[in-house]
Chain A
Amino acid sequence: MNKKLKIIGSYFLLFIESILLFIITMLIVSKFTVLNNNYVKNNLEKNGYYKDLYDEIITEMSYYTNQSGFEDSILENIFTLGELKYETNKFIENTYKGKSLTIDDSKMRERLTNNINEYIKNSGFKIVDQKEINKFIDTMSETYKDEITLMGYASKGANILTKITSYSNRLIIVIFVAIIILILLNHIVLKRKESGIVFFTASFIILFCNYYFRNNIDLNNLFVYSNLVSKIAKYMINNILSISIIISIVYIVLGLILCIIKKIKKSY
């Protein structure tokens, strides 16, 4: 084969390898972060999400107690942080599996009913219409469920999430195989060993994407559904951007090692 043609062909393959390495890196990062329910749960724990969610549910419920002739004291101990954490985690796991889930609010309803009965007994109110009390309890129950399930939006995204996970798994395998083939082509057929370029290029592209994202997205003011969710989303985005910077540094080091190894072999 013509030498010039070999060089051009080799660089073309290296360029494709670089892009594939960049894509597979992004897919693997996604697989271990946003597409991994354990990563999400760990970040919720780290950011005190469950405690904040507990407070938010109580605040949301208190909006209704005022207009319903009750005091906030009826909301005391109607559910525990442990119960809320259990239900939230169960909900996240099911969402990632693409399954729908009914939140168990039976204990919460029972305790709220007891608190209301106690309050009515002590305050001397007369119950004119039991339906109004039941509707109040239903509203509290809906608030509890809506806050955990983000008003059902998370469930709506569950199907998309499972599809993305499934596609990305397949794509990772396909790209991995393609990279191996391209490496073999370059090394065996074209007899050119400049794999350092692939790592350097993938690293530069990752760094550029990081820079572009940080400079074009108003991350500090990003608002997703609620303050609580926004806080977690911002934390996770920053975390993923930091991980991508670490990966790009690792790639540069790998590129340097490949360059040095190659030259050493040639020297001896």
Chain B
Amino acid sequence: MHNIIIEKLKVIVKQLAIAFFFTAFFIFLTLTITKTKIDKAINFINSFAIIQNNSKGTTKNIQINTVTKRLVEYPNFGDIWARIIINSADIESNVYHGDTLDLLKYGVGHHAGSYFPGEGGTILIAGHNSTRDFGRLPKTQIGDEIIIKAVYGTYKYKIYDYEIIEAKALNEKLEINDNKEILMVYTCYPVDTPGYKSKRYVIYASLVGDSNE
């Protein structure tokens, strides 16, 4: 009986050892022949792996370098980094970094590809036409003041123009440049009738003063 058990164990060990050798040989063959393709496939799959950050917190420790005219550190996507105030139209709202529809549900959004106040370029801010956000934007007039209270300073702008454009023409019309600090604020138009809005009401304002806090 004892011998039978030892014989059985010997067979099992022998077959396991051969199986182990077969596996190692198979892995060696596969990796040698298709390593590049496997790596490519893994990289492709991992390219879909993203660390999602849907932060809607407030960014606090942001400063602007007055020499380079660039923020030392940028807010996270979805963070509140300023308040926009247009007294003449009774508008005051939080400004989020990013202007996706998800963020616009909470307040107005700053287009992530545009500049920040103080950086000397185009600043693009969008908001829904509800009364909480930019519903009263068409009540503003040329010469009215827009204040942006950012976490790193307060910036004042004066409205010098406005226009109504087709939503389709938005990208073409609202060009982002770095040669002059212009604030562009827009909302869906018309604001006082229900239905799908295919137009945008845009106001243009230029920088008139700033105070770094």
Interface residues of A (CB under 8 A from B): 11, 14-15, 18-19, 60, 62-64, 66-70, 116, 119-120, 125-129, 131-133, 135-136, 138-139, 194, 196-197, 200-201, 203-205, 208, 216-224, 227, 255-256, 259-260, 262-264, 267
Bound-state Cα–Cα, A255 to B22, Å: 15
Chain B residues with Cβ below 8 Å from A68 are 188, 194-197
Evaluate contact between A18 and B196: CB separation under 8 angstroms. Answer: no
Chain B residues with Cβ below 8 Å from A200 are 15-16, 18-20
Interface residues of B (CB under 8 A from A): 4, 7-8, 11-12, 15-16, 18-20, 22-23, 25-27, 42, 45-46, 48-52, 101-102, 104-105, 128-130, 188, 190-198
Evaluate contact between A15 and B25: CB separation under 8 angstroms. Answer: yes
The contact of B193 among A69, A216, A217, by CB within 8 Å, is A69
CB of B66 to closest CB in A, whole Å: 37
Evaluate contact between A135 and B195: CB separation under 8 angstroms. Answer: yes
Shortest Cβ distance from B46 into A: residue? A218
CB of B120 to closest CB in A, whole Å: 31
The contact of A217 among B4, B11, B42, by CB within 8 Å, is B42
Bound-state Cα–Cα, A201 to B129, Å: 66
Bound-state Cα–Cα, A129 to B193, Å: 8
Evaluate contact between A120 and B26: CB separation under 8 angstroms. Answer: no
CB of B102 to closest CB in A, whole Å: 7
**How many residue pairs bridge A and B at CB < 8 Å?**
140
Known: A221-B51, A263-B11. A66 touches B194 (CB 8 A): no
Chain B residues with Cβ below 8 Å from A263 are 4, 7-8, 11
Question: Which of B25, B188, B193 has the most chain A CB atoms closer than 10 A to its own CB?
Answer: B193
Chain A residues with Cβ below 8 Å from B4 are 263, 267
Known: A222-B49, A259-B12, A263-B8. A132 touches B128 (CB 8 A): no
CB of A219 to closest CB in B, whole Å: 8
CB of A233 to closest CB in B, whole Å: 9
Evaluate contact between A204 and B20: CB separation under 8 angstroms. Answer: yes
Bound-state Cα–Cα, A119 to B195, Å: 12
Bound-state Cα–Cα, A208 to B16, Å: 15
Evaluate contact between A18 and B194: CB separation under 8 angstroms. Answer: no
Evaluate contact between A132 and B197: CB separation under 8 angstroms. Answer: yes
Chain B residues with Cβ below 8 Å from A67 are 104, 128-129, 188, 197
Known: A18-B22, A205-B26, A260-B8. A69 touches B192 (CB 8 A): yes
Chain A residues with Cβ below 8 Å from B50 are 221, 223
CB of A254 to closest CB in B, whole Å: 12
The contact of A126 among B18, B101, B188, B193, by CB within 8 Å, is B193
Evaluate contact between B19 and A133: CB separation under 8 angstroms. Answer: no
CB pairs A–B below 8 angstroms (11 shown): A14-B22, A18-B22, A63-B101, A68-B195, A132-B198, A197-B15, A200-B19, A204-B22, A221-B50, A223-B50, A260-B12
The contact of B194 among A70, A205, A222, by CB within 8 Å, is A70
Chain B residues with Cβ below 8 Å from A255 are 15-16, 19
CB of B166 to closest CB in A, whole Å: 14
Evaluate contact between B193 and A132: CB separation under 8 angstroms. Answer: yes
Chain B residues with Cβ below 8 Å from A62 are 105
Bound-state Cα–Cα, A24 to B22, Å: 17
Shortest Cβ distance from A63 into B: residue? B101
Evaluate contact between A128 and B190: CB separation under 8 angstroms. Answer: yes
Chain A residues with Cβ below 8 Å from B198 are 132, 135
Name 19 extra pairs, CB < 8 A, besides A200-B19, A217-B45: A14-B22, A63-B102, A63-B104, A69-B129, A69-B193, A70-B194, A128-B193, A196-B11, A197-B15, A197-B18, A201-B22, A201-B26, A204-B22, A204-B23, A220-B49, A221-B49, A223-B52, A259-B12, A264-B8
Evaluate contact between A66 and B196: CB separation under 8 angstroms. Answer: no
Evaluate contact between B194 and A19: CB separation under 8 angstroms. Answer: no
Evaluate contact between A69 and B105: CB separation under 8 angstroms. Answer: no
Bound-state Cα–Cα, A203 to B19, Å: 9
CB of A109 to closest CB in B, whole Å: 14
Chain B residues with Cβ below 8 Å from A18 are 19, 22, 26
Chain B residues with Cβ below 8 Å from A223 are 48-50, 52
Evaluate contact between B18 and A11: CB separation under 8 angstroms. Answer: yes
Shortest Cβ distance from B100 into A: residue? A63
Evaluate contact between B48 and A224: CB separation under 8 angstroms. Answer: yes
